[in-house]
Amino acid sequence: MEPTGVNKILVEKYGYEWVNGKAWRPGTAPEPELIEEEESVIETTPEPSQPVATPETDPVPSEPISLEERIEQLQASINELQKKYEEALEKLEQANARTAELEGQQGETSSESSNPDEVAIEPDETPSPEPQQPAVEEEVDASTPEAPEVSEPEPTPATIYPEPTGVDKILVETYGYEWVNGKAWRPGTSPDVETVSDIAIEVPNFDNTLVSSGVTEDGSPPSGLPGAGLNKGSLTATTSTLFDRTLDVYGVKLLVGGASGTQDAVPDAWAHKVAQSYVMLMDPTGSNIDVSAQENMKKILAGEDGTWHEGFGTSQRILKGTGSEYPLNPLQDLNEGQLDAQYGAGTEALLHDIMQDMVWYQNSTGVINSGDGDIQELFEHVLHTLHPWGVRGAVEGSEEALNYTKVGSRDAHDANDSSWKTSELYLAMKEAMDNGVFDPSGYTPDPLNDPEQFHPAATEYTYILNFSMWEMGKEFWPDKVNGEGALEGEWSVTAFDPAGVLAENPLGHALFMKYFDPVLSKPDFTTLRSMFQDNDQGDSGYVPDANSPQAFIMSFVEDNTQFSSEEVFYDQLSPQTDLAINVELL
C-alpha cells in the first residue's frame, strides 16, 4: 500500500521511510515484514496483488541521526501539517460562505447550463427502468463513455466525487464532518447536492473587492475571512513581519508583533498572558455568569452569522514599545499596499477585522517592568475591546442599551438624530458627568452631543465603571490617593467600589449589573500578580484546548510517526514553548 495524506507528505518531503504500511523517521524503520505476515492482516482483493521483491542483500543501515536533527525534522513536519490543516479549514469556511449565497439560487438552477464543465445531478423522482441516453451530448461528463445503469435513485452518484483523503479524511472520520460535493462540512452545515461539478469560490472582501479561495498571486493568504475560533488556540505563524503570529481565543484573534527593523518581537510568553487574560474575563464559572449569554458574546466577537456585526471579527493587536519605533508606523494613515510592501504580503489582510485598541508590551509611554502596571495597561485595553464589540448584544436588549455606535452598525450615530441620547448607556454616562463622577473633557470635550466623541467617551466610561465595580482601579491604578489607586480628575475618588458607584452613579451601577456582570468574570488578583510579576516574570498558565489546530496536528503526527514522548525534549521546540504542555495533556 502506497502512502497517502500526511504519510505521503512525510515520505516525499521530509525523507521518512515507508515500511510495513507506516512512515518512520529516517534511521528508525524496522526491517520489512515478510509477505506471509502481511497476508495475515491485509484483506485480499479480486485483483492479484503485485509480487513483493525480496532484497538480495541485507539492507544498509541508515546513518545515525542526532536528537537535534530529529527535532528539526519534527518541527518542519508540524509546520507543514499545520499549514495544510489551516488551508483546508479556510477553504471549508469559504465554501460555506459561498454555499450560503447560493442557497436562494439553487432552486432556480436549471439542468440546461451553458458551461460545458457543469454536470447536472438531478435524479428523476420516478426513474425509468432502463438507463436513458442524455438529450444533450455536452452535458455528459467526458470521462463517462456510457450512461450508468440505473437501479434506484441516489442523491449523489458515487463516481462523481472521490472519497476524502488527508485532512478531509481526518475531519470526516474523527470530527464528524460531512463529506458532500467533494468537501468536508461542519456537522449540520452541509448543503444539498450541487448541480455543478466544480464551483469557483469567491469570497467578498471587506473593502468590496473579491479574493479567490486560494492564495493570492504574490503568495499571501486570502483576506476577507472574518472571525476567530471560539476555543483556546495556539500561536500560528503568518507571512507578515509586523504581526508574525496569531492566536485565536474565545472569538478574539490576537495579532502578535514580530521583529521589525530594530524593534524586537513580542515574546510568546506575553502573547500567552494576553490570551489568558481573555480566558479569565470569560470564565464561565464566575459568579452570576449566564453561560448562554457568555457563549453568545464569543460568537459576537467572532462576527459569526446572525450576530450584530456579522462578517467582521474582532482582533487584538499586540506590539512592543510604541508605533514610532517601527520602520513604518502602523498607527499612521497609510495608503493601501504600504504595509504589505514594508512588512510582507498578507500584513494588510490581517487588519480587516474590528480593532479597538493596541496592547503594548513594554509600553514606552508607561511604567516598564512593573507587574501591576502591566495588569492595568493590559486589562484597560482588553476591556476597551470586549465592551463595545462583545458585551454589546450578549444579553437580551444590550444591543440597543449599549449603543456605543448605531444599532446594528459600526458607524457613529447621526448628528441630526437625537434618538441615541435615550439609551441606558447614554443616560448612565450623562448622570456620571452631571454628578461630577466622570470627566472625559481631556479627550472628548462634548461627548453628550457629538456622536463621534460619544463612542470613545462611552468606551472609557464603561472601562472605568467596570474597574470600579470590581475594585480593580484602587488596586492597580498607578496614581494613588490615600494609598489606593485613583484616576483623580477623570473619576471620583469616592466611586471606586460598588457602594460608591451605587451612591454617586446609580444608573451606572444598574447598567453594569444588568449587561456586564452576566458575561464578564472578575479575575482573581492573586492569580494576576502571579502571572504579571515585575521584570516580565511569572507564567501565564495558558493551555490551548486539545482540539486547537496545533494540538490536533501534534497528536496526528505522534500517531503517524511512531515516536514516544520520552524520545523528544519538547521544550526545545522553540518558539512554541507551550507546545510541551499541550502535548502532555492530549
Task: Give residue-wise pLDDT tens across range 288-300.
Answer: 999 999 999 999 9
b (16+ CB within 10 A) / e for 189-228: ebbebbbbbebebbbeeeeeeebebebeeeebbbbbbbbb
Amino acid 369: pLDDT? 78
Question: How confident is the model over 500-514, as a mean pLDDT?
Answer: 97
Of the residues 360, 393, 426, the one at which a domain ends: 393
Please answer whether residues 477 and 376 qualify as being in contact, where contact means their C-beta atoms are separated by less than 8 angstroms. Answer: yes
- Which triple of cell numbers denotes residue 156? 449523489
Average pLDDT for residues 571-579, to the nearest whole number? Answer: 30
Whether 285 and 269 share a structural domain: yes
Quick check: is 132 in a domain? no
Tell me, yes or no, whether 193 and 85 share the same domain. yes
pLDDT on residue 63: 56
Number of helices (H) and strands (E) in the chain: give both, helices first. 17, 13
Residue with the larger pLDDT of the pair 22 and 272: 272
> What are the tens digits of pLDDT across the range 200-238?
333 333 233 222 223 333 433 333 344 678 899 999 999
In a domain, 540, yes or no: no
Over residues 48-67, the mean pLDDT reads 50
What sign results for the dihedral spanned by CA atoms 432, 436, 440, 445? positive
On whether residue 523 sits in a domain, the answer given is no
Residue tagged 490617593 (cell numbers): 481
Q: Which residues contact 248 (CB under 8 A, 6 or more apart)?
A: 228, 229, 231, 233, 254, 548
Contact (CB, 8 A) for 123 and 192 = no
Q: What percent of the chain has pLDDT over 90?
A: 52
Residues 280 and 232 in one domain: yes
Same domain, 161 and 277: no
Cβ contact 20:33 at 8 Å: yes
* pLDDT above 60 for 315: yes
Note whether 15 and 162 are same-domain residues: yes
Reply yes or no on whether the pLDDT at 371 is more than 90.
Answer: yes
Task: Indicate whether 484 belongs to any domain.
Answer: yes
Q: From residue 45, how far is each of 39, 41, 62, 204, 334 by CA, in Å? A: 11, 13, 34, 48, 64
Q: Is the pLDDT of residue 557 over 70?
A: no
Domain range for residue 384? Answer: 226-393
Rounded average pLDDT over 52-59: 45
Using pLDDT thresholds of 50, 70 and 90, give the confidence band for residue 103. low
Same domain, 194 and 309: no
pLDDT band at 105 (very low <50, low <70, confident <90, very high): low
Q: Chain-wide mean pLDDT for the chain?
A: 76
Same domain, 385 and 419: no
Lowest mean pLDDT among 42-46, 307-311, 515-519, 542-546: 42-46
Examine residue 126 and state whether it is found in any structural domain, yes or no.
no
Band the pLDDT of 32: cuts 50, 70, 90. Answer: confident
The C-alpha R_g of the chain, in whole angstroms, comes to: 29
In 390-461, the DSSP E strands lie at none
> Is there a domain that residue 370 lies in?
yes
CA distance 444 to 448: 9
What does the block give as the cell for 59? Answer: 539492507
- Same-domain check for residues 263 and 213: no
Position 548 scores a pLDDT of 56
Looking at the structure, tell me whether residues 67 and 209 fall in a common domain: yes
Residue 2 has which C-alpha cell?
A: 502506497
State which of 393, 422, 440 marks the end of a domain: 393
pLDDT of residue 7: 74
One-letter amino acid at 233 equals G
End of a domain among 493, 517, 541?
517
* Confidence band, pLDDT 50/70/90 cuts, at residue 559: very low
- Report which listed range, 62-76, 392-406, 567-581, is most confident: 392-406
> Cα(407)–Cα(389) distance, rounded to whole angstroms?
12
SS3 letters across 534-556:
HHHECCCCCCCCCCCHHHHHHHH
Q: Does residue 112 lie within any of the structural domains?
A: no
Is it the case that residue 254 has pLDDT exceeding 80?
yes
Q: Decide if 13 is inside a domain.
A: yes
Q: CA distances (Å), 184 to each of 166, 189, 274, 351, in order?
A: 11, 10, 33, 28
Mean pLDDT score, 238-254: 97
Q: How confident is the model at residue 318 (pLDDT cuts 50, 70, 90)?
A: very high
Question: Does the predicted model carry a pTM greater than 0.75?
Answer: no
Residue 508, pLDDT above cutoff 60? yes
Q: With 90 as the cut, is the pLDDT of residue 47 above it?
A: no
Which of 84-93, 203-212, 408-417: highest mean pLDDT? 408-417
Domain total for the chain? 3
pLDDT, tens digit (0-9, with 9 covering 90-100), for 128-182: 444 444 443 333 343 444 444 545 544 444 434 568 776 677 777 776 778 777 7
**pLDDT tier at 480, thresholds 50, 70, 90:** very high
* Domain match, 380 and 231 both: yes
Co-location of 350 and 385 in the same domain: yes
Query: Do 350 and 293 share a domain, yes or no?
Result: yes
Give the pLDDT of residue 167: 62
Residue 26 has pLDDT above 90, yes or no: no
- pLDDT of residue 263 exceeding 90, the answer is yes
pLDDT class of 463 with cuts at 50, 70, 90: very high
In the structure, what pLDDT confidence band is assigned to residue 498 with cuts at 50, 70 and 90?
Answer: very high
Lowest-confidence range among 209-218, 501-510, 512-521, 532-541? 209-218
> Which residue type occupies 5?
G
